[in-house]
Structure 1
Amino acid sequence: MALSIRQKRVRRISGDPVDGVVVQGPVDGLATGTPLYSVAVQGTIDGRTTCRPRGWRFGTWNVGTLTGRSLEVVEELQRRMVDVAALQEVRWKGEGTRFVGAKGGRYKLWWKGDDGTGGVGVMVREELLEQ
């Protein structure tokens, strides 16, 4: 069965204390038109029925190169209220972590690349790291 990202889907997870996940998309797109998704958890926790929006927004972006553009990427993620972003083609050598952005709107960046071509990264909003 083919699924459209424009339709809401509920996946039942048996035996899990949270027995349903609602995924809604697309919410928005980054410069490449990649869809973002809002995730809400719905089910029973400790015998109580709940429907709690988690409020996390996920995105993916083929940045082409991150060299000299990390602040631009952070500004775009903030503008689109993205909490976690997967980045492709960061083109940085080696691997490491660092914070990018100004205090109060920073993201932690993890990256890995081999020879300055390709490479991947993940950016997570600083407030999520404290939870």
Structure 2
Amino acid sequence: MSLTRNENRARLSPRSDPQIYRPNSVDMQGLPHRERVWLKKRARELRVGTLNVVTMRGTGRAIADLMKTRRVDILCVQETRWKGNKARELGEGYKIVYSRANKEGRNGVGIILSSEMKKEIFEVDQRNDRIIWVWLMVENCTVNIFSVYAPQIGCSDAGKDRFWSDLEEEMEKVPADERCLVGGDLNGHVGQNNHVISCIHGGYGYDERMQRVRESLILLCPRI
């Protein structure tokens, strides 16, 4: 089953018609009360993680075993370094969808899903070698999972600006009444001080802040 088509987007057939229900009547918090209660309950059960794997070459089965041991349902991975926009089985029922590495064979991002979660994929958007997201239809609720890999310190300012602009553009495609989770390696520090931005900074940062990354996150987080 191929996950690629024009514009690096793919649409899969879930177990039931994905168009039968998407919340219309919403309250001030974005979802009907019943859906919000369900998502809070589901969030306690769904285990989502992120990991810079450096490379997926020869490590797929080990990562699948790790996810099984840690009971991780969804894992966002960076620096996969695989060619093409594809999907493949890793073993133990885990499946990865991923975006290609760049021309130099670097970067690449992917999302690994458990045997249960991979059945819920409805759409995949493989933007480039730094951004990929999947849209899951989980029991009539929609959840969007992003895996991202920000440019390193040595990259050009233009490349960094392009990454944040691309990510913002992709996130604008997500309807306001759907949940959005971003996992990735952002290659930066937000600092220890969460004064003023405590609503999006849990106070667990370290080192001195990197102003460009901090400012980008301040603009991005309210969309999540």
Do both share a fold (TM > 0.5)? yes
Is 2:118 the counterpart of 1:129? yes
Report the counterpart of residue 31 of structure 2 in structure 1. Answer: 16
The answer (yes or no) to whether the contact 1:88–1:120 under 8 Å persists in 2 is: yes
CA contact (8 A) 1:13 1:20 kept: no
Does 2:122 match 1:106?
no
In the alignment, which of 57, 61, 69 is matched to residue 71 of structure 1?
61
**Whole-Å Cα distance in 2 between the matches of residues 130 and 97 of structure 1?**
13
Between Structure 1 and Structure 2, which shows a larger proportion of strand residues?
A: 1
Shift of 1:41: 3.0
Structure 2 residue 39 is matched with structure 1 residue 41 = yes
- Residue 121 and residue 53 in structure 1: after superposition, are their counterparts in 2 closer, same or farther (change >3 A)? closer
SS of residue in 2 equivalent to 1:78: helix
Q: Which runs of 5+ in 2 are unaligned?
A: 1-26, 121-224
Do the aligned residues in 2 keep the contact of 1:90 with 1:118 (CA within 8 Å)? yes
Q: 2:74 aligns with which of 67, 84, 87?
A: 84
Q: Where does residue 134 of structure 2 map in the other structure?
A: none
For 1:93, the equivalent position in structure 2 comes to 83
TM-score normalised by the chain length of structure 1: 0.59
CA separation in 2, counterparts of 1:18 and 1:98? 37
Give the Cα separation in 2 of the matches to 1:85 and 1:91.
16
Counterparts of 1:122 and 1:53 in 2: how far apart (Å)? 19
TM-score of the two chains, using structure 2 as the length reference: 0.36
> Could you say what secondary structure the match of 1:72 adopts?
helix
C-alpha distance 15-57 of structure 1, shift in aligned 2 (>3 A): closer
Sequence identity percentage: 31
1:111 Cα deviation from its structure 2 partner: 1.1
Which structure carries more helix by proportion?
2
Where does the alignment leave 5 or more consecutive residues of structure 1 unmatched? 1-11, 23-39, 43-51
1:44-95, CA deviations, whole angstroms, 9 ceiling, x for partnerless residues? Answer: xxxxxxxx34511000000001100100110111111110010000011111
Shift of 1:21: 6.0
Q: Give the secondary-structure state (helix, strand or coil) at the position aligned to 1:82.
A: coil
Structure 2 Cα separation of the partners of residues 87 and 64 of structure 1: 9
- Output the CA distance in 2 between the equivalents of 1:67 and 1:59: 20
2-structure distance, mates of 1:129, 1:20: 21
Provide the alpha-carbon RMSD of the alignment: 2.5
**CA drift at 1:126:** 1.3
